[in-house]
Structure 1
Amino acid sequence: MRIQFWTVLASILLSVASIFDASAGEKAFGPFSVDDSTPDVITLDGEIDINSGLNFRRALQATPEAKLVILNSPGGNVQIGLLIADDIHQRKLATYIPSGSKCFSACAFVFLAGAERKADGELGVHQISSGSSDLVGAQLAISDIIEVLNRFGTPIDVMHVMFKTSPDDMHVFSQDEIRRYGLNRNASQPSDDLAASSQDPRTTTKPIDGGNSSDKQPATFDQPTPDSLQASLPRDTALSPIEEFTKRPNRIAIYTGLDLFGDDISSIRVNDAAACANSCLVMDGQCKAFTFNTNPRLRKGPNCFLKSSAGRADGNSVAFSGRFLSGAEADPSAFTMGVIDPQTALFDNVDLPGGDLSRRPHQSAKTPLACRLACLDEALCIAFTYIKAKRECWLKGAIGSPVFGKEMVSGIKKLETFSPAKVISLD
């Protein structure tokens, strides 16, 4: 199975590479990086030091089409952070903190400068710190910060939080505070007007939220409120830089032994898992995931299932699945669930007498598949027996000694942990 996985993975990598420009390359300028495959994006990943202002200018020169700055930084030099923020404000760039990333201290100035901005990750602020006893210099620095933040349309409440938090501490805004203070901002709201409007709930643009996992819907932007300026835009208006980044798939999380069950857009027959992955990828964002059946005995009918979402996770040892991830999503973490593998944990003509969870059969499970899924959905169920002649499903809280049962199907549940075998970058 391991050799088969790496063979399939290699074929997916080669096939995906044929879709994207193989000449794409990444360039680094200190903590900033740019990539030819995403010419509108600059990424900040690391500390803001004394050279970062010049390095940001170099990154801007390398990406003249830049629209968006992705942030993941613990902070650093305050004055340089303000200079970078001023460049972002002047060029009307968008700023975004992805889920799983953080933007603290001096990085917060950079975030707040965004003409459009969104924090799915952590945004943290505190007072400035200095080893010097120069009180006049400290007051001038604070004056600079207030002047710049006012220019960015920063709500006064955010400044209060910043200046009340000790330099040795960090206030990380909750998602509720981000909504309340209007820290997320869409492109239709001019930054110069935000300072006034943020104090008036009638004119504050509502924030945009998202998230994703195996049991959640993919991260999306909420629709603007009807009274928003954005509501009056034509339907064919281009996506904003943040919307474009968060909806654009840039990775595939690959799983072995996991079936993404349901939510099929279509089912087709292809030669291998790579062709299945590509069939999903070329659907321009409509397809979010796929499952390929690796069973060589399946010689007819569909073996590739293209999906509108990750659907329901289900264990199946012949399944090879992939979920496309956008820039807004962190790499998926491991999860544990009950599994009744259709290939290895189902037994024909076997009865598991006793141990029933109820005196009556399950009311809605009228097929072996429905009975298996019903057991998976019931936390107390550890096995089931389905009687075909009576179309009865019996969920079990204990496993009795198996005996012969004509036209019966039994299944046994076990806990299994799943994590991506590989996360493949599409860049």
Structure 2
Amino acid sequence: MRPFIIVMAVLLQAFATSASSAQIQRHVMGDDDNSLTYFTLQGEITSGDHFDFDHINDKPLVILNSVGGNMETAMALGRELRKADARAIVRKTEVCISACVFVFAGAVDRTVFGRIGIHRPYPTRTGDETQEQAQQEFKQMKSKSQRYLEQMNISVSLLNEMIRVPSSRVHYLSDGELAKLGLTGKDPAYQYKQDSEDAARYGISRRELLRRRRKSRAKCSSISAKYHPWKKVQCEDATMWGLSVSEMKQRQQLVRTHCTKQKYGDKGQALKCQISIMQNGLNSQ
């Protein structure tokens, strides 16, 4: 799987488009042998919008640039993202406002370079109604929003912040607010699942995985992800294997030679071969 940090470095250079017309599009970057499929959601979210994640081998990547729209549809789109373990980005100069935030919340990995804007959700229906009807409608909206955010493991404090902002205004969340509300980074349940998978991939315990992650952050944080993305990825991966970058490259070449799926006829056995060589070298075979 292509490292996500490189994916971001490429996509952040893509041109920004207007958020005035609603559309969800599927894009393919690169050739057949080395391609990246990603999706963009542009403009107003309307009833019937949905993502077509069929035939995607990797976890989908979704770029959001929307001023909001239909809240029910936004939640349905967010659930589609969650079901597919999708990642979401708001690029620099672009926005995710109002109902779009519910879509963004559905992603299991969320990154913001642009702006996230919130305000009080409101119904699209118009016409006269009594105070009692308005109160009931507001309570239903609040209940649906709260239930959805809880399902996405997002702090219900986000809903409280939304309600404080009149629907006619927009409050753009600071980096600190985004972090406090849990809108950036990985979903905690997804992180739990990924930790288990990564520990198995490296052939180590979960505790050792977390220790090496801390070491990786300390060792590789000075390398710019923007200007040297591949160098940063190599530093992080080598640290996770407990190797130097040169040792990791040598053992990766051995893995490509000795641990093919065709040789073992079984993906699980090929993985065991990979872990064995990456941990102990060719002498383990």
TM-score by length of 2: 0.53
CA contact (8 A) 1:103 1:122 kept: yes
Larger Rg: 1
Per-residue CA deviation, residues 243-294 of structure 1 (Å, 9 max, x unaligned), is xxx9699xxxxxxxxxxxxxxxxxxxxxxxxxxxxxxxxx9956xxxxxxxx
Which residue number corresponds to residue 186 of structure 2?
Answer: 186
Percent identity, aligned pairs only, is 20
Which residue number corresponds to residue 108 of structure 2?
Answer: 115
Going from structure 1 to structure 2, the CA distance change for 1:142 and 1:180 (only over 3 Å counts) comes to: closer
Which residue number corresponds to residue 93 of structure 2?
Answer: 100
| Deviation of 1:62 (Å) | 6.0
Q: Is 1:90 aligned with 2:83? A: yes
CA contact (8 A) 2:63 2:91 kept: yes
CA contact (8 A) 1:44 1:71 kept: yes
Going from structure 1 to structure 2, the CA distance change for 1:234 and 1:103 (only over 3 Å counts) comes to: same
1:35 to 27, 32, 35: 27
In 2, the alpha carbon distance for the partners of 1:183 and 1:98 equals 15
Which residue number corresponds to residue 170 of structure 2?
Answer: 170
Count of residues paired in the alignment: 177
Pairs within 5 Å for 1:290-369: none
> What residue identity is the alignment partner of 1:31?
Q
Going from structure 1 to structure 2, the CA distance change for 1:155 and 1:228 (only over 3 Å counts) comes to: farther
| Deviation of 1:230 (Å) | 5.3
| Deviation of 1:46 (Å) | 1.5
Q: Is 1:73 aligned with 2:72? A: no
| Contiguous gaps of at least 5 residues in structure 2 | 1-21, 30-34, 193-206, 217-223, 232-285
In 1, the alpha carbon distance for the partners of 2:180 and 2:214 equals 29
> What residue identity is the alignment partner of 2:156?
I
Going from structure 1 to structure 2, the CA distance change for 1:86 and 1:61 (only over 3 Å counts) comes to: same
Which residue number corresponds to residue 47 of structure 1?
Answer: 44
Going from structure 1 to structure 2, the CA distance change for 1:34 and 1:177 (only over 3 Å counts) comes to: same
Q: Secondary structure at the match of 1:161?
A: helix
| Deviation of 1:178 (Å) | 1.9
CA contact (8 A) 2:90 2:115 kept: yes
Q: Secondary structure at the match of 1:153?
A: coil
| Deviation of 1:190 (Å) | 1.9
CA contact (8 A) 2:59 2:85 kept: no
> What residue identity is the alignment partner of 1:42?
F
| Contiguous gaps of at least 5 residues in structure 1 | 1-29, 194-226, 237-245, 250-282, 287-427
Per-residue CA deviation, residues 119-173 of structure 1 (Å, 9 max, x unaligned), is 1111011111233534334422221111001111112332211111111111110
TM-score by length of 1: 0.37
> What residue identity is the alignment partner of 2:173?
F
Relative to total residues, which structure has the larger helix share, 1 or 2? 2
CA contact (8 A) 1:151 1:192 kept: no
Q: Secondary structure at the match of 2:44?
A: coil
| Deviation of 1:86 (Å) | 1.1
> What residue identity is the alignment partner of 2:25?
S
Q: Secondary structure at the match of 2:68?
A: coil
> What residue identity is the alignment partner of 1:99?
K
In 2, the alpha carbon distance for the partners of 1:140 and 1:235 equals 47
Which residue number corresponds to residue 359 of structure 1?
Answer: none
In 1, the alpha carbon distance for the partners of 2:98 and 2:174 equals 16
Per-residue CA deviation, residues 318-373 of structure 1 (Å, 9 max, x unaligned), is xxxxxxxxxxxxxxxxxxxxxxxxxxxxxxxxxxxxxxxxxxxxxxxxxxxxxxxx
| Deviation of 1:234 (Å) | 11
| Deviation of 1:235 (Å) | 10
